Amino acid sequence: MRHDGRLSRMLHVLLHMDEQQGPMTSEDIAGMLGTNPALVRRTLAGLRDGGYVTSERGHGGGWMLGRPLSEMTLADVYDAVGAPEVFALGLADDQPQCLVEQAVNTALRQTLDEARALLLRRFAEIRVSDLRDDFAARAAALGIHPGMRCAEA
Amino acid sequence: MRHDGRLSRMLHVLLHMDEQQGPMTSEDIAGMLGTNPALVRRTLAGLRDGGYVTSERGHGGGWMLGRPLSEMTLADVYDAVGAPEVFALGLADDQPQCLVEQAVNTALRQTLDEARALLLRRFAEIRVSDLRDDFAARAAALGIHPGMRCAEA
DNA sequence: CATTTTGTAACTTATCAAGTTTCGAATAAC
DNA sequence: GTTATTCGAAACTTGATAAGTTACAAAATG
Ligand code: FES
Ligand code: FES
């Protein structure tokens, strides 16, 4: 099944925004992600509603961080992109008549709920700034200037 | 995202097979699941390869359990249907050049791997016969004969 | 007013589980 | 051995939806 990359993409964008001076336009960002501006706007809209980024129209406009990365967790970003379905595994029928199928659903639902809870708990523990720090460590280890952009290379 | 219901469906089928005298044809099963025989064969093929069910062709043929439900875990069935992708959440790019994106991927991958491991560990702890027992308890609580079939009602 | 840039709606594409059709091969009943 | 049944398997269509695209209105700057 094709997966949902919105969380992954938005984290990437936030980190690049952090190491950027002024605002980034949707076009800048789209170039970075290898996609197009309209999609960027669509997805960033959720982050704007959550106050994690701000947008300005017109000359010199674009997207900027709405707060420091240390004040955003992965869970915040996950929620901001619409809290998409976590699992590809699912139930054949949510409310079956069949008692047998109800037993199956109960067991699967419990197990999936538990795994989802663990995942979201972990997401809530990780600040976006932690990823930046990991990135800085990587760059240092490789002796690479941390400001690189793959799209510009 | 549309989810993958193969595990759920196959568990349902196994439980019905267990409370059945003789073999069930693909058509019987398809009627139960609200689907069609070819799809049933396609999915059950994996369980047959794992020895969890057997199939016989011709008159009086069909599908039967290959071993008791107490000797199959949810993890066994999950593997037998092809160990489908667990998560709908995914990475935008698996092997990015960008160090920033690599940091994002590392963090997400770790967290997803942890949640997947928990899920599969739980699956390995649950025997299919446990679901049957839960079903029996449900039926008793409702005062319903446990042999009911929704498709026949 | 001309230009830049977001906001938004409408539409197309890609993907893959699910669903369908079809025919061949094996088995059993007669 | 002929017929009915049933699985096996390949080839194809459908449905759902994230992603991608197009287009244009609205707002801000100079
Ligand atoms: S997209 Fe991250 S460096 Fe280019
Ligand atoms: S499908 Fe489970 S009782 Fe009918």
CATH for the B6-152 domain, from 2.40.160.20, 1.10.10.10, 3.30.360.10, 3.40.50.300: 1.10.10.10
Nearest CA to ligand 1 atom 3: A149
pLDDT at position B2 is 75
Give the model confidence (pLDDT) of A52-83 as tens digits: 999 999 999 999 999 999 999 999 999 999 99
Query: DSSP string covering A95-138, please?
Result: S-S-HHHHHHHHHHHHHHHHHHHHHHHHHHH-BHHHHHHHHHHH
> Token pair for residue B113?
């791997």
- CB A72, CB A127: distance < 8 Å: yes
Helix (H, G, I), strand (E, B) or coil at B142: helix
pLDDT > 90 fraction of chain A, expressed in percent and rounded = 75
Q: Which two tokens stand for residue A85?
A: 């379905």
For A104, list phi and psi in degrees, rounded to 5.
-60, -50
Q: Does position A16 have pLDDT exceeding 70, yes or no?
A: yes
The verdict on a CB contact (< 8 Å) between B103 and A134 is: yes
How close A100 comes to chain B (CA, Å)? Answer: 6
- Cα-Cα-Cα-Cα torsion A129, A85, A117, A128, nearest 10 degrees, comes to 0
What whole-number percentage of chain B has pLDDT above 90? 75
Q: Which of B91, B95, B97, B105 for mutating ligand 1's site (highest number of atoms within 8 Å of CB)?
A: B97
Residue B19 CA: which ligand is closest?
Answer: 2
Residues 4-63 of B with CB under 8 A from A: 4-5, 7-9, 11-12, 15-16, 33
**Does the pTM exceed 0.85?**
yes
Residue type, A4: D
Spacing, Cα B153 to ligand 2 middle (Å) = 9
In this prediction, residue A151 has a pLDDT band, given cuts at 50, 70 and 90, of: very low
Q: How do the domains of chain B map onto residue ranges?
A: 6-152
Q: Which residue would you say has higher pLDDT here, B146 or A135?
A: A135
Per-residue pLDDT tens for B94-105? Answer: 888 888 898 999
Q: Which residues contact B15 (CB under 8 A, 6 or more apart)?
A: A100, A103, A104, B69, B128, B131, B132, B135
